[in-house]
A and B are shown apart, each in its own frame.
Chain A
Amino acid sequence: MVSTAPIQTDASSVRARHVKKVFVTPEGSALTALDGVNLSVAAGELICLVGPSGCGKSTLLRLIAGLDRPTAGELLIGREPITEPSADRGLVFQDPNLFPWLTVRRNIEAGLVARHVLREKRDDVEQFIRLVGLESFANAYPHQLSGGMAQRVALARALVNHPRVLLLDEPLGALDAFTRMRMQDEVLHLWEARGTTMLLVTHDIDEAIYMGDRIVLMTPRPGRIDRILDVPLPRPRQRNDPSFLDLRAQILELLHFTGQAVTVVGA
């Protein structure tokens, strides 16, 4: 299932070729989390990964982040193979995972401290604190923040490194519906302002249509890419636009169809 998008050689493109990932469970049996995954993400593109739990969305993101190595196949950022985690590829989880022992400002600085560039980039920190609207909470500790604020800090912490690719693993999944819609706009705003390549894992089809340039539908056991849909809607998108709703109905049907197909194959 090779993507129809033109293959970019730009430094912030991401490519997965025949990627397979097998986990060995503690009991010793092998579990294929991903198999035969081919994906090409152009520089500056916003791709949404959608699918039921267990379809390997998060696994794929961890592979691209470099936190895990694929069992087979190769992963590229630009033309370089991905071998280890790097500040080039920021990762934001559903749990903000802020360091609870650091204030908001120090959390945002963390990447700069880790790369020993804090002194030169101190202005960036202030800029990102402003960008995510947390000036008055700069010296607060994470336990004093609401879920939405904490996730904004996590975004700022990843973005302050100016990553070429931002990997978002259901970053808005734990937020209430209103905060979630506001945060979707904030992420889009950051994406448009910075031109960062983004891969967003989500359970929420509306979120995928609202945000993605393309939507990657995945199926479980083993995790595979079922198909890749273009979202031809102009931005900013309207959630109640008829073509938005059409696409939504189409995806729901596809997911349902996919479910039946698996049952037939299984029988």
Chain B
Amino acid sequence: MSQPGIDLPVRVEAAPTKRADEIGPSTKTRRPAVPGLRQVAAAVAVPLAALLALAVHAWVPSSGLAQNTRSYPTLLAALLVVGVLSAIPQPLFPRLRSWLRANAPIFAAGTLALCAWELLTIKLGLLPLMYFPPPENVLQTLLDDRRQLFDSTWHSLLLLVLGYAVGTASGLVSGVTIGWSGNVRYWGMPVLKIIGPIPATAWIPMALVVFPQSIAAGVFLIALAVWFPVTMLSASGVSNVRASYLDVARTLGAGRGYLIFKVAVPAAMPSIFIGLFMGLGASFLTLLVAESTGVSSGLGWYIDWARNYSDYNKVFAALVIMAVFFSTVMTLLFKVRDRILVWQKGVIKW
């Protein structure tokens, strides 16, 4: 449920990027002559971190048996090369410079995190190797098992998109009707209040009985998880539309269709998007649970299967894929929201 909240700080951090972009030209005249400390730090952060990680990988002795793979040092070397290549021309390109200044610290920190992960696992042996594989093993597994990982991701994506689409569509219909019509609200709200708070995963036994195919059961469960927050927040958005907007529209000659779809729904959009974000968070959770219980494919199933074989390389590989997959989906929804709610810029800060 808190997924959108988790992503919020990232949005806040995005703001300084723009500001740095704007002040870039004004500081351009002064900066190249005497590079500021921050600029130098931004330029060397990623290469230094990659060098450190490479050194740790090559020279700190391993405490256990390490997979001898070349993928991890190759990744670090690539980071080093890209870091150096982007640092050299940056005094000449203000845009690259401000991008680096904004993003180099976080990339460097990510590289250092890989290094720390390796130290904690294979190098110093502080975590049990069996359950906490070092980054080189996970990376190698990602490459070796890419076919099955890709296949699992694809199945998860299909299930997620289907379930989310069905849940959003039905949530919008029920939410807007409940929000608009007092009669529907009277009968619908109690149902919503009783059914809604039950976690969608609690319906798994019933869903598996009702739906002949497990895929359909998965779609149903995800849709149910998305339906509740979308309904709740679109209903509250629609019923809280400023009365004066509706009054103005009526004196402009608006009929019911215009009042609902051109006034109430657009006015409720900010609230609807909160529901969409909450629904997305709930859908990730439901997706994984549905896949590991009924549906025999997808990332949730993959993790479950790998755990049964105690193959924690694969568990971690799936976690990495999942992180990328879910955050990409979340970012996509943010992009959609930014486009649809462009009129809100300057009104509400997220």
Contact = CB atoms under 8 A, between A and B. Distances in A.
Contacts of B245: 97, 99
Interface in B233-279: 242, 244-245, 247-255, 258, 262-263, 266-267, 269
Nearest to A85: B250
B29 interface: no
Contacts of B342: 141
Contact of A99 (B251, B263, B346): B263
B248 A97 contact: yes
Interface string B171-190: 00000000000000000000
B308 interface: no
Contacts of B263: 99
Contacts, number: 78
Interface stretch (A46-54, A86-94, A176-184, A186-194): A86-94
A134 B253 CA distance: 24
B347 A65 contact: no
Which of A84, A87, A99, A144 has the most CB atoms of chain B within a 10 A radius of its CB? A99
Chain B binding surface, main DSSP class: helix
Contacts of B262: 110, 113-114
Nearest to B340: A101
Contact of A101 (B248, B249, B252, B269): B269
**Size class of the contact patch on chain A:** 20 to 34
A67 B253 contact: no
Given A93-B244, A97-B245, A143-B343, A87 B253 contact: yes
Contact of A67 (B250, B254, B266, B267): B250
B330 to A, nearest CB: 24
Contacts of B68: none
A99 B266 contact: yes
Interface of A: 65-67, 84-87, 89-91, 93, 95, 97, 99-102, 110-111, 113-115, 141-144, 157-158, 161, 167
Interface of B: 242, 244-245, 247-255, 258, 262-263, 266-267, 269, 342-347
